[in-house]
Structure 1
Amino acid sequence: MRLTATLMLFAMAAIFVTTHQLLGVHPAWGYVNAFAEAAMVGGLADWFAVTALFRHPLGLPIPHTAIIPENKDRIADTMAGFLRSNFLTPVVVARRMRDMNLARAAGDFLATRTPGEEGRIRAGAGQLLVELLESLDPDRLGLQVKAGLARQVEKLEIAPLLGRVLESAIADGRHRPLIDNFIRWGGLTLEDNEDMVRDMVQARANALIRWTGLDERLANSVLDGLYKLLAEMHVDPNHPVRAKIEEGLQSLARDLQHDPAMRERVERMKSDLLANPAVADWWMGVWERLRHSLIDMLRNPDRAMGGEMGSSLAELGETLRSDPALQLQVNRFARRTLVGIANRYGEQIVGLVSNTVKSWDANTITMRIERAVGRDLQFIRINGTLVGGLVGLTIHFLIDVL
């Protein structure tokens, strides 16, 4: 557009020079010459005006030119004041927020799906999380997470918590399947180690019993007795041994909550466990597997944001879109939050705008404002050329008539 406006100015100059030689040939050339002369003057005047906004015309230090670069600090302060007065005062924010239904807009955004679209949030949010997880130092992040968890666990007294959990489980009968599994495990362990039990019995039998061969029968009797005990414990919920186990668990639950010595032992065990390097290595392995699993899952939208989470977001959008009471609450919360932000941080926000503009050099602010205004600056020059020509044509006509 700058080239077009400049070529139009040179065209008017060429027409003016050419038609000046033809004034005596025919009266019509006078009208063309008058149009071209006035258009050239109008184009030059508007070129000077447009150029003077951003730089010195032809590099000459003419007063009141390069207006924007010379006054960029004042412009920055004026822009900041305009933003502060018209957008970031609590009264203005509250008034504008009353006319907006942010909850409904958020509901439409979350619930609306266009054909062929996987979801408005799914791809962008998933990719953002993937880039975040990949950009962070995995070792440092894992150590930070581990340290944070360790600090929280150190603050937490484990023994009373374990005691209350165990007490609640016993009260609800949730400990019985655990005892059943323990009994089954005991039976399988005994079956896998029958030879070891026989060797132990025979090793403790005296020479007379071994000489008579009764040690083998004694070992079989011990094994049979143990199998019978385990079977009876498994089928009889009221077996005395099970009762003893339950009594021991109840006592342990009480001690975990109320016995200072027991609580101290548990805390010491917790500290030793946290300080164990093997636990640290185990946690780092768990964290790396978790991080890679998250990255793989987020790269597959159908498994991540497009699965349960995507459905949940769509349901949330439908609720926001159709529930006026929820919209009222969300909009009220958003209005109070934004009013508070404007009241607390309005000065800092406009200060950021002002300081940013002040930090730009003359070339930067000139280039950015010129690009923001765009083609309209050159249309000023083109219009000035055409309007000037029409004014010159009109003046020439009036002179001829009068």
Structure 2
Amino acid sequence: MASPLTRAGDAVPVPLRRMRRLATFMLVAMAALFLLSRRMEGVHPAWGFVQSFAEAAMVGGLADWFAVTALFRHPLGLPIPHTAIIPRNKDRIGDTLAAFLRDNFLTARVVARRMHRVDAAGAAGKWLADPAARSGRLRHGASRLAVNVLEGLDPDQFGTMVRGALANRLRAMQVSPALGRTLEAAIADDRHLPLVDAIIRWTSKTLDANEELVRAMIQKRAGAVLRWTGLDETLATSVVRGLHKMLAEVAEDPAHPLRAKANEGLALLAHDLQHSPEMQAKVERLKNDLIDNPALAGWWMGVWEKIRGGMLRAARDPDRALAGPIGEAMRQLGRTLQSDPVLKAKVNRFARRAVVGAVADYGDGIVRLVSDTVRGWDAQTITGRLENAVGRDLQYIRINGTLVGGMVGLAIHVVDVWL
């Protein structure tokens, strides 16, 4: 069946054509009945009742035909005043429709009141928790769309674009205070101790791997007398053994003085990262150097290709993806959204604020879009669309006008005869 809103030039919907023909047929039938009753008026008094009915029915049908036609065009093409109402007032109709939308739907107060009755978190939780609810056209259509988008985009260009967006975000972000606060919180909870232990182990392994280099450096800096007497080698051995012994003691003793010094150094670093302009400038320079490093760009492109490949595999086979950890995480999130009243309240509040904010920010734009769209239609377009939308009901007005007019005429004739 044709859509009730058709474009200008489209065929008139079949139900509308049928109703037009029926209303016109009834009007013609009343005219024929009126002529017949005039000729048969002297045969029997009953024909007077028929004539009154047919005459009033013609008047009612013609009046309603004129009224219905005058909404959309000039009756019989005659420029009668106050006809072709819709084409002449299409701009005002658009403005009125836009004002109606704004006052009754697109105000923050109305939307907020309606959103209070919407359980967005519960609906989302039910959809996420029930795998069957996620199946169907929506999921498979979304997966096909995701595949087409990912395959249609140039991987290198899109990866470069994403990397550029991340780089710009990182450049605008001052990382020093965040690093300082993170380090300060870790020290307060002793979560930095594994880092200290790892540094000690790494230093010990580095010393083992470079013992000969350390010995050579000590011997090179030893005096000529020590080298002549052969004590340079003894000194190097003593230094290396001392370093090994000190690192072993630091690793075994949590209260070693060097650990306290390391803690003091880390605490000072955390403070400087948050409050020292010089340290923050150094960190920012290091951050920018890392961002501009070509090696990092190459590393990112490799990571991005892996991410893109994983996204493509998940999009091509959503059932398999949802059957794994991703699906279990979604189900757990759905159950939590349904069972946790605090989280549900937060999500609903966020959804309500998001919708109200969108209405506040874009409501006027939507209203203008409606008004400008109607203004942009030509008179024939808006007339055709409105007539095809409500014309069938308007033809009922013609039919009812014919019948009601006939009944009124018959009633008047009955009263006239009785009196």
After TM superposition, give the deviation of residue 69 of structure 1 in Å. Answer: 0.9
Gap change, CA 1:296 and 1:34, over 3 Å in 2: farther
Q: What are the equivalent positions in structure 2 for 1:124-135 lying under 5 Å apart?
A: 131=145, 135=149
Q: Which moved more, 1:42-51 or 1:125-134?
A: 125-134
Q: Secondary structure at the match of 2:116?
A: helix
Structure 2 residue 407 is matched with structure 1 residue 390:
yes
CA displacement 1:184-227 (0-9 Å, x = unmatched): 78999999x9xx999xx9xxxxxxxxxxxxxxxxxxx9xxx99x
Q: Which runs of 5+ in 2 are unaligned?
A: 1-18, 216-236
Gap change, CA 1:230 and 1:36, over 3 Å in 2: farther
Give the AA of the match of 1:62: I
TM-score by length of 2: 0.61
Preserved CA contact (<8 Å) 2:125 2:334:
no
Whole-angstrom CA distance in 2 between matches of 1:108 and 1:236: 52
Counterpart in 1 of 2:55? 37
Counterpart in 2 of 1:106? 119
Whole-angstrom CA distance in 2 between matches of 1:57 and 1:171: 88
Give the AA of the match of 2:85: I
Structure 2 residue 328 is matched with structure 1 residue 311:
no
Counterpart in 2 of 1:68? 86
Q: What are the equivalent positions in structure 2 for 1:1-400 lying under 5 Å apart?
A: 1-79=19-97, 87=104, 100=113, 102-106=115-119, 110=123, 131=145, 135=149, 137=153, 142-156=159-173, 158=175, 162=179, 165=182, 169=186, 172-178=189-195, 236-237=252-253, 247=261, 251=265, 254=268, 257=272, 267-290=284-307, 293=310, 299=318, 303=326, 306-315=330-339, 318=341, 341=360, 351-400=368-417
Alignment RMSD: 5.6
Preserved CA contact (<8 Å) 2:53 2:407:
yes
Whole-angstrom CA distance in 1 between matches of 2:261 and 2:100: 77
After TM superposition, give the deviation of residue 380 of structure 1 in Å. Answer: 1.1
After TM superposition, give the deviation of residue 292 of structure 1 in Å. Answer: 5.9
After TM superposition, give the deviation of residue 50 of structure 1 in Å. Answer: 0.5
Give the AA of the match of 1:311: R
After TM superposition, give the deviation of residue 383 of structure 1 in Å. Answer: 1.0
Gap change, CA 1:141 and 1:133, over 3 Å in 2: farther
After TM superposition, give the deviation of residue 176 of structure 1 in Å. Answer: 4.2
Gap change, CA 1:97 and 1:282, over 3 Å in 2: closer
Whole-angstrom CA distance in 1 between matches of 2:280 and 2:364: 54
Gap change, CA 1:143 and 1:112, over 3 Å in 2: closer
Whole-angstrom CA distance in 1 between matches of 2:111 and 2:338: 25
Whole-angstrom CA distance in 1 between matches of 2:184 and 2:349: 42
After TM superposition, give the deviation of residue 39 of structure 1 in Å. Answer: 1.5
Whole-angstrom CA distance in 1 between matches of 2:267 and 2:246: 25
Preserved CA contact (<8 Å) 1:183 1:230:
no
Q: Which runs of 5+ in 1 are unaligned?
A: 202-220
Whole-angstrom CA distance in 2 between matches of 1:9 and 1:239: 108
After TM superposition, give the deviation of residue 9 of structure 1 in Å. Answer: 2.0
After TM superposition, give the deviation of residue 382 of structure 1 in Å. Answer: 0.8
What is the identity percentage for the equivalent residue pairs of Structure 1 and Structure 2? 45
Q: Which moved more, 1:73-82 or 1:255-264?
A: 255-264
Q: Secondary structure at the match of 2:82?
A: coil
Preserved CA contact (<8 Å) 1:83 1:350:
yes
Q: Which moved more, 1:8-17 or 1:165-174?
A: 165-174
CA displacement 1:93-129 (0-9 Å, x = unmatched): 75x689x474343368638959989569x99699779
Counterpart in 1 of 2:12? none
Whole-angstrom CA distance in 2 between matches of 1:103 and 1:346: 19
Give the AA of the match of 2:334: G
Give the AA of the match of 2:59: V
Gap change, CA 1:314 and 1:167, over 3 Å in 2: closer
Give the AA of the match of 2:163: K
Whole-angstrom CA distance in 1 between matches of 2:183 and 2:362: 51
After TM superposition, give the deviation of residue 378 of structure 1 in Å. Answer: 1.4
CA displacement 1:15-67 (0-9 Å, x = unmatched): 33444444444433443343223212321221111001111123333332212
Q: Secondary structure at the match of 1:64?
A: coil
Give the AA of the match of 1:2: R
Whole-angstrom CA distance in 2 between matches of 1:113 and 1:255: 48
Q: Secondary structure at the match of 1:307?
A: helix
Whole-angstrom CA distance in 2 between matches of 1:330 and 1:156: 29
Gap change, CA 1:320 and 1:270, over 3 Å in 2: closer
Preserved CA contact (<8 Å) 2:250 2:259:
no
After TM superposition, give the deviation of residue 76 of structure 1 in Å. Answer: 4.0
Whole-angstrom CA distance in 1 between matches of 2:375 and 2:416: 53
Whole-angstrom CA distance in 1 between matches of 2:121 and 2:182: 44
